[in-house]
Amino acid sequence: MAYLSISFTHKNTDIQTREKLAFSNDLEKETFLKNILDSDSIEEAVLLSTCNRVEIITCVSSLEASQNTILKKLSEFSTLDFDDLVERADVFDSNYAIHHLFSVASSLDSLVVGETQIVGQLKDSFKYSMSKGFCNRNLARAFHFSFKCAAQVRNATSLGTGSVSVASTAVAKAKDIFKNKTNVQALVIGAGEMSELSIKHLLKANFEVILTSRNFKKAQLLASTFEEEVKVAPYDQLNHLLNTVEVLITATSAPYPIIKEDMIQKCDFNRYWFDVAVPRDIEDMNVDKLHIYAVDDLQDIVNDNMALRAESAKKAYSIVSNMSKEFFEWLRTLGVEPVLKHLHLNGDDIINKKLQKAIQKGFINSSDEENIKKLCQTVMAEFLHIPSQKLKEVSKSNNGDLVLNTVQDIFGLNDDSSTQTKYKNDNTQNETIG
């Protein structure tokens, strides 16, 4: 078994490509995951699809075959050329796949380093795969450790403070544009998480917020969660609002553009629109005094963000590297516990057999059986104590598997499959992280 991650992000794909790769609903995700898991080489899979990335995180038996299968299925889903996907994809396997997953969870691989949404999105993707039976113990171990890593990065660094999301970055850009102007109205389209974040930052920046959504009741509910006034406009007023409001942030989950050029009238004032949705909500257009920013166009603020967070990012990467190493050390220690338990079980079997023979032959009284048994178990535990400690230490090294296999061969532990199975199941049920 090996970990394999295939990644398409703002680093290796433009927004037009990411739009085609984006999964807009659970049905598309479920179908894709089922398709790749039909392959004999792919055992577990999680799919993450956000405005800035598509990640397929898997456990596989064959790296080459699995990579080929995933990219072929992605090509079929997106209608993008297979060879183009091969050229663009960032592929991580084994230790590198875990390091990448931990970096993603810790928002070190995000467009806006330190943004706080990504770990929640990862958790949702993982829970979805678990609920559908698309992943099991191997990915569960990796994901739980990645969440632990993300928490450690948040607690140990200043990442996660300040302007740390695409929404907040868009608002920061708008605030900079209108820094000498008051009473500026800003229209937010959509009533999801990104819209909620946008409203929060717009209010903090003293914009007058108007919210609209196809789901009017959901928009009203969202508006009511803020202490400051958020006006809610019916969706049928969208055309009018587009041509009267100076600032717009749109973040819907529509699979196609909802704002088209024929909806736009010429105005004598500048309008600044921020499309933070993928696929984009605003179609390509060239209208006088209309400035449109997609997520990739916020790079100047992102660069400032990176400069300010460079020291924290350096510390965070150190944490990710240490946690990646710790994860694989922990995985290796899992193999030693069954061996040690099996040794003790074998010892108990020998003690019980010898006691019964001794009683049958009259060497000891049956009334003394329990006391003698406890004494023998104490001697056995003392005898196995140092070997157990040494095995635990050796299991963390690169040749740990070789040593464990040798111990199993010497003590004949590979022969008793029923005991091993019992012990393996117990170990799986009691397994914890950290």
User: Can you give the pLDDT at residue 420?
Assistant: 37
Confidence of residue 110 (pLDDT cuts 50, 70, 90): confident
Element (H, E) at 36: helix 26-37
Rounded to the nearest integer, the mean pLDDT of the chain is 87
Percent of the chain with pLDDT over 90: 59
Catalytic residues: 51
How far out from the chain centre does Cα 84 lie?
A: 25
Q: Which CATH architecture has domain 166-299?
A: 3-Layer(aba) Sandwich (3.40)
Point out which residues pair with 325 in neighbouring strands: none
Compute the distance between CA of residue 125 and CA of residue 47 in angstroms, rounded to an integer: 6
Which one, of 176, 168, 233, 241, lies nearest residue 202 by Cα?
168
Q: For 109, phi and psi rounded to 5 degrees?
A: -105, 5
Q: List, for residues 282-308, the tens digit of each pLDDT value.
A: 999 999 999 999 888 876 666 666 665
* pLDDT, greater one: 199 or 157: 199
User: Can you give the pLDDT at residue 427?
Assistant: 38
User: Can you give the pLDDT at residue 106?
Assistant: 92
Is the bond preceding residue 279 a cis peptide, omega within 30 degrees?
A: yes
Residue 430 pLDDT greater than 90, yes or no? no
Give the pLDDT mean for 396-423: 62
Q: List, for residues 130-142, the tens digit of each pLDDT value.
A: 999 999 999 999 9
Q: What is the DSSP letter of 366?
A: G
Q: What does the domain layout of the chain look like in residue ranges?
A: 2-160, 166-299, 331-430
Give the pLDDT mean for 322-345: 83
Give the pLDDT mean for 162-180: 83
Cβ atoms of 163 and 169 closer than 8 Å: yes
User: Can you give the pLDDT at residue 434?
Assistant: 36
Q: List, for residues 64-109, the tens digit of each pLDDT value.
A: 999 999 999 999 999 999 999 999 999 999 999 999 999 999 988 8
Residue 16 pLDDT greater than 60, yes or no? yes
Give the pLDDT mean for 193-202: 92
Which one, of 199, 196, 172, 166, lies nearest residue 185 by Cα?
199
pTM attached to this predicted model: 0.69
Q: Which CATH architecture has domain 2-160?
A: 2-Layer Sandwich (3.30)
Lowest mean pLDDT among 18-22, 233-237, 412-416: 412-416
Lowest mean pLDDT among 122-126, 295-299, 414-418: 414-418
Compute the distance between CA of residue 280 and CA of residue 261 in angstroms, rounded to an integer: 14
User: Can you give the pLDDT at residue 164?
Assistant: 63
Confidence of residue 1 (pLDDT cuts 50, 70, 90): confident
Cβ atoms of 282 and 272 closer than 8 Å: no
Neighbours of 361 (CB within 10 A): 8
Point out which residues pair with 230 in neighbouring strands: 209
Lowest mean pLDDT among 332-341, 345-354, 359-368: 332-341
User: Can you give the pLDDT at residue 423?
Assistant: 35
User: Can you give the pLDDT at residue 255?
Assistant: 86
Express the helix, strand and coil content of the chain in percent, nearest 5 each: 60, 15, 30
User: Can you give the pLDDT at residue 234?
Assistant: 96
Is there a shared CATH topology between the 2-160 domain and the 166-299 domain? no
Compute the distance between CA of residue 428 and CA of residue 278 in angstroms, rounded to an integer: 40
- Tokens at 292, concatenated: 């449109």
Give the pLDDT mean for 178-187: 92
- Tokens at 175, concatenated: 């605030």
Give the pLDDT mean for 172-180: 90
Q: List, for residues 395-408, the tens digit of each pLDDT value.
A: 766 666 677 778 77
Which one, of 342, 331, 323, lies nearest residue 400 by Cα?
331
